Amino acid sequence: MKCTKILVIAAIAAFSAMPAIAHEEFRLVGVITKLEKTALQLKRDGDKAVNIKLDGQTKVTKDKRNATAKVGDTVVVDALGDSFADLSALEVKIVDAKGKP
């Protein structure tokens, strides 16, 4: 009986930790084509647009300072998700567009 309890507790602990580790890390670079309070749409070179969720924990920075993103900004987005269809942004870094000094 004691062994069964230990196995059940171990199984519960293992399965409860899975959602926290199931997400992959993504880094995307592109131009913001649509921006709302809870999401942005990012157009990457040669790819379809990707929708990325935003929340109160998402940091938006430029030159390591807090900033406000806008449509047309070139950005680097660090996000978590299971695929490109399910991304949540951790940080959005506004960068200079390619070719600009």
Identify the sign of the CA torsion 54, 36, 30, 61.
Answer: negative
Determine the topology of domain 23-95 in CATH. Answer: OB fold (Dihydrolipoamide Acetyltransferase, E2P) (2.40.50)
Residue 46's identity, in one-letter code, is: G
Residue 42, beta-bridge partner list: 32, 50
pTM of the model: 0.74
The residue length of the chain stands at 101
Q: What is the pLDDT of residues 50-95, one digit of tens each?
A: 999 999 999 999 999 999 999 999 999 999 999 889 999 999 999 9
And the tokens for 21? 């580790």
Q: Are strands 74-81 and 59-62 parallel, antiparallel or unpaired?
A: unpaired
What percentage of the chain has pLDDT greater than the value 70?
74
